[in-house]
Structure 1
Amino acid sequence: MNQSNKIFDGLGRVMNEAAGVADGVRREVETAVKSQVQRLVADMDLVKREDFDALRELVQVQGEEIDTLRKDLAALKGGSGKAK
């Protein structure tokens, strides 16, 4: 009985060490993949989300201003009696 306990204890230690090694390998692979993805994204020269959202908002505001100016211009052309 004592011999089988030693065998199971040894087997348990080996399993724990193997799990620790596997976890270390997993972390190393995650780090390597993350590094490669970050490098790839940096090489693609992508726009940050915050910059995109700010530019989109600016374009919307300018679009509204252009529409207002077009209406004002149309009203001025209509009021002067000159139609083109």
Structure 2
Amino acid sequence: MSTGPNRILDEFAKLMTDAAGAAQGVRREMETAFKGQAERILNSMDVVQREEFEAAREMAAKAREENTRLAARIEALEAKLAELTGQAAPAAAAKPKSKK
């Protein structure tokens, strides 16, 4: 068994290691508590999560693309119908398209 300054330094190092481990445990508990409280506050405010927002934005973009494609298809079919029946092209085809 060693005595003297080495033993005191060893005990002090062990104490500091234990204290650092305890401090990390407290830090983890505080982070968990803070995150839980922040989630409760955001849920009470009806804030949308980022993933949900991105999914809705992607669906809206796809819907706009499909609407544009379908509008072009309708115009082409109306023009073909007008050609077959010998009528003038519909007025809807002459309208300028609004872009947002």
What is the TM-score of this pair, normalised by structure 1?
0.67
Q: Alignment RMSD, CA only?
A: 2.8
In 2, Cα distance between the equivalents of 1:62 and 1:29?
Answer: 50
Higher helix share: 1
Identify if the C-alpha distance between structure 1 residues 82 and 23 changes in structure 2 by more than 3 Å, giving closer, same or farther.
closer
Which amino acid is 1:44 matched to?
D
| Deviation readout 1:15-67 (Å, 9 max, x if unpaired) | 11111111012101221232233234433331613344334323322332123
Is 1:28 aligned with 2:3? no
**Which stretches of structure 1, 4 residues or longer, exceed 2 Å deviation after superposition?**
36-45, 49-60, 70-73, 76-79, 81-84
- Can you give the 5+ residue segments of structure 2 that lack an aligned partner in the other structure? 92-100
Q: What aligned pairs does 1:30-45 form with structure 2 within 5 A after superposition?
A: 30-42=31-43, 43-45=45-47
Structure 1 position 82, deviation (Å): 6.0
- Equivalent residue, structure 1, for 2:96: none
- Can you give the 5+ residue segments of structure 1 that lack an aligned partner in the other structure? none
What is the TM-score of this pair, normalised by structure 2?
0.59
Higher relative contact order (CA 8 A, sep 6+): 2
In 2, Cα distance between the equivalents of 1:59 and 1:11?
Answer: 68
